[in-house]
Structure 1
Amino acid sequence: TEGATAIHADDKGDLTIDPKVFPAAVAADLPAHIAEALANHQLPLNHVAFEAPVDTAAWRDKPTFYVISTKDKVIAPEAQKFFADKMKAETTDVAGSHASLVVHAKDVAAVIEKASFVK
């Protein structure tokens, strides 16, 4: 995706998204000044976060829910669907970017609330 190709590591292995690409790739549905501020204040993520082995995945034994951001340019919606299907998750689609947690906060909160009542 456009956003994934804009992820770069520094000499310590910390990953950030190119601030010039960030607004369009991560937060296209936020006002430009907010997307630019997010781009300039993003915190790096170290690559080892993706390399740690998982012994037990909770989704194997518990009900799961997944909000698919259909306009995401960081994690392709097709990949999100693949992840959700693998987890047998109940899905909710929102027509939003990678920033769907902010832009579609009510929809995301409704999914979280629904999941909180599942035993």
Structure 2
Amino acid sequence: MTRTPERPRREVVTSPRTTAARRPRYPATREIDEQTRLGEVYMRSLIRTQLRLALFVCTVLACVVGGLPLLFLLVPHLSDLRVAGLPLPWVVLAGLIYPAFVAGAWLHVRQAERNERHFADLVERQ
């Protein structure tokens, strides 16, 4: 019977520096809880995103609300139109502005929740 020569056993060579290079990573939630500089950066980015959204929604609503009187001033024959016996400017300013505010608020809440979900995903991924 012929014996096959045994293969030499494999040796794994590692550097002692490899463990030093792998510093423990803290989760982002810990960075935020401990209010480290990185946690401040995370929170500042969330607040900046929410502020940008709020300014956008307020700007759109201000343009709509401020633009309607300007529209009626620039196009005077619109003021003479009547809807259900009421002047058109009154109908628009009293009846259609409030749904615009509700739609703006709904949009703001929906987008703010989306921003918070993205932020939570970012924090959990770290």
TM-score by length of 1: 0.22
The structure with the larger Rg is 2
Tell me which protein shows more helix as a share of its residues: 2
Counting strand residues as a fraction of each chain, which structure ranks higher? 1
Q: Which has the higher contact order (CA 8 A, sep 6+)?
A: 2
